[in-house]
Structure 1
Amino acid sequence: MHLLHQFSDSSALNHDFASKLVAILTTAIAERDAAYLVVSGGRTPQALFQTLASTPLSWEKVTILLADDRYLPVDSEQSNERLVKATLLQHYAAKAKFISLYAEAEHAFAAIPEILPRVAGLPTFDAVILGMGEDGHTASLFPCSAQLTAGLSDTAPAVLATEPTSAPFQRISLSKTRLLDSRHIFLHLVGENKFPVLQQALANTDPVQMPIRAFLHHPSVAVDVMYSPK
């Protein structure tokens, strides 16, 4: 299931989106004395992150982690962790806790035994922010990846390594099941090129062709699509 929220531009989107997220985190802290937020990397959420970071909140009670990351040292320019630390974990939000998806190992698959316990025992997330590529991938669940079936399985572990053939680097990704275990799920899309991809994803239910469909068509999970053309 999905609900489409359309905005004239990313500034209007970010203002509304940040307000929604702050309300969710504030409610979680009031009710459970803790909040858990899952974010995605890339260029799209950077302005949103900066808006959130400038918002007063009991950030010391918020735990943040990524939906996925490239398997790179955290100081790499292409590391999502580096991006999140530079844009979100700043100002007021510098007090938030961060769970890394990186562990030094021979390769991503060998790092999983160290990374998995960090995520597997976490409670239900309060909000998950997903992105979507033009091939319909989300997190690092790529249609070209040999690990896609495992990542989409209802019995998948919380975290797995993937190796897409259409994108560089091995990846660490939360599984579909772990991402769906959230009180709120958002899909954050900016750019006119993303709307036809969204329409294609909504037109069919096969997640092997477009993994984002596993979320958009889930029978018992509502996904709030936050979209602006620019």
Structure 2
Amino acid sequence: MSGLVSKVEIRAFAGREAQALALAEAVAADLAEAIRLRGRASLAVPGGTTPGPFLAELSRAGLDWAKLSVTLTDERWVPETSERSNGRLLRGALLRGPASAARFVPLFTGAPTPEEAFGALDAALRPLAPLDVCVVGMGTDGHTASLFPGGDRLAEAMDPAQPLAALALRAPGAPEPRLTLTRPLLTGARRAYLLINGAEKRRVLAEALDPAGAEAEMPVRAILRAPGGLTVYDAP
């Protein structure tokens, strides 16, 4: 599948501290507005180490955290006792101090396999839709969330009509099974942001912005082509 790139704004910063602060301010403003308008807000963020500074800055925002639900764009199928758990990283970076009052919706449920968690996850994630804010990252292979090129269920997860909010994928570049939010939830957010760092990610983004490029080759293209557009926060 290919298509025209939607409204993509690129904001470049001289350093990662300025990038993290600016993104945190933008996301906090979006969430505060959602709470003002609807009495609650929902947020999905990436795992890994790259978003750490942004999440730490966001944790200091003066939000009514008890009215915020937070989930992950994807998760490794490991418990939070594992250092590879995105949930563990999120709790350490964001859900601390006043921000600990936010409701966290984890993707790892403790079921023997991720497939056995689909029903419970769908029930937990559906009330968050549409997400008020979705922040994603991007790998040098063009993956986003756990939508990996070559993933065994990539076509299902990328289907605009996929009824499930989350699916499991197994891919050559992923040591463990992964849970990922599916395309409808990721691209249906009211506000979307892409966080990238470094020259290599900038090169990958330029390639991903090719309107003739196939989404299966670089799944991040699905996010870049979302109807509502998104803003890229880029730093060296």
**TM-score, length-scaled by structure 1:** 0.96
Distance in structure 1 (CA, Å) of the matches to 2:171 and 2:97: 35
Aligned to 2:223: 215
After TM superposition, the structure 1 stretch with the greater mean CA deviation from structure 2, 45-54 or 106-115, is 106-115
- Output the amino acid matched with 1:197: V
CA RMSD of superposed structures (Å)? 1.1
SS at 1:189's partner residue? strand
In the alignment, which of 2, 10, 13 is matched to residue 19 of structure 2? 13
Residues 140, 171 of structure 1: 8 Å contact kept: yes
Distance in structure 2 (CA, Å) of the matches to 1:32 and 1:121: 13
In the alignment, which of 144, 147, 153 is matched to residue 138 of structure 1? 144
SS at 1:193's partner residue? helix
SS at 2:37's partner residue? helix
CA drift of 1:102 comes to: 1.2
Aligned to 2:207: 200
Q: Does 2:90 match 1:84?
A: yes
Distance in structure 2 (CA, Å) of the matches to 1:16 and 1:26: 15
SS at 2:231's partner residue? strand
Aligned to 1:224: 231
Distance in structure 1 (CA, Å) of the matches to 2:188 and 2:13: 27
SS at 2:209's partner residue? helix
Q: Does 2:190 match 1:176?
A: no
**TM-score, length-scaled by structure 2:** 0.93
Aligned to 1:163: 170
CA drift of 1:202 comes to: 0.9
- Output the amino acid matched with 2:234: Y
Residues 186, 223 of structure 2: 8 Å contact kept: no
Distance in structure 2 (CA, Å) of the matches to 1:87 and 1:175: 24
Distance in structure 2 (CA, Å) of the matches to 1:221 and 1:31: 19
CA drift of 1:38 comes to: 0.5
Residues 121, 165 of structure 2: 8 Å contact kept: no
Q: Which runs of 5+ in 2 are unaligned?
A: 1-5
Distance in structure 1 (CA, Å) of the matches to 2:34 and 2:41: 5
CA drift of 1:91 comes to: 1.4
Aligned to 1:150: 156
- Structure 1: which 4+ aligned runs deviate by more than 3 Å? none
CA drift of 1:120 comes to: 2.4
- Output the amino acid matched with 1:145: G
What percent identity do the matched residue pairs reach?
Answer: 33
- Output the amino acid matched with 1:148: L
Query: What pairs up with 1:11-160 in 2 under 5 angstroms?
Result: 11-156=17-162, 157-160=164-167
Residues 59, 97 of structure 2: 8 Å contact kept: yes
Distance in structure 2 (CA, Å) of the matches to 1:114 and 1:38: 18
Q: Aligned residue pairs: how many?
A: 228
Aligned to 1:189: 196
